[in-house]
Amino acid sequence: MSRPPGRKQENHKISRDLFVLTYGALVAQLCKDYERDEDVNSCLDRMGYSIGIRLIDDFLAHSDVKKCRSYSETADVIAQVAFKMYLGVTPSVSCCSAAGNEFSLILDKNPLVDFVEELPAERASLCYCNLLCGVIRGALEMVQLAAEVTFLQDRLRGDAVTEIGITFLRKAEDRKHKRK
């Protein structure tokens, strides 16, 4: 038996929609469990970090990406390969510092908020998609790149765009063992 030609894309779309709906239920439950938005944001970041440190293996196995030689190349791979691969979107990348270690990912469309109209007024400081920051941070750490990842702008908060800021803190030193 053969599969219809469009079947794989359809399954991917269903999986992404299921993920987005499940994610919304997760955030709603966290909002019930925690009174403070900062606690929800922190929990989402920790969850994302745990996902990121595991997701990097899948990414490296399926993306055919070579070792990045610069921070800008790393930011481009995150935007053009990782986001496309897992969320089906390609954010634009802009460099935000003369040192070349700060970048912004600007998302025209954020699939995690497809079914969210707006945040409730009492949840004004909630960073609904903070899971993404944790995922990026965890994945980068697993390839020896320490980074600070934060939401700079969010359409759910009324900003014009959704923008994720990535600041590479330092490149971890390669550990070379000396033979004695």
Distance of CA 150 to the CA centre of its chain: 10
Q: Between these two residues, 121 and 48, which has the higher pLDDT value?
A: 48
CATH class of 16-114+126-168: alpha beta
- How many CB atoms within 10 Å of residue 61? 8
Res. 9 pLDDT band, cuts 50 70 90 = low
pLDDT digits (tens, 9 = 90+) for 118-153: 888 899 899 999 999 999 999 999 999 999 999 999
CA distances from 179 to 54, 91, 176 (A): 32, 45, 9
pLDDT digits (tens, 9 = 90+) for 74-107: 999 999 999 999 988 999 999 888 888 999 999 9
Q: What is the DSSP track for 67-129?
A: PP-SHHHHHHHIIIIIIHHHHS---EEEE--TTS-EEEEEES--GGGTT-----GGGTT--TT
Contact status, residue 138 vs residue 53, Cβ threshold 8 Å: yes
Q: Is a pLDDT exceeding 80 seen at residue 27?
A: yes
Q: Which long-range contacts (CB under 8 A, 24 or more apart) does 120-123 make?
A: 123/31, 123/37
What is the residue extent of each domain of the chain?
A: 16-114+126-168
CA 85 to CA 81: how far, in whole Å? 6
Q: Is a pLDDT exceeding 70 seen at residue 5?
A: no
Model-wide pTM > 0.75? yes
Q: Is a pLDDT exceeding 80 seen at residue 177?
A: no
Range of 4-13, 94-103, 159-168 with top mean pLDDT: 159-168
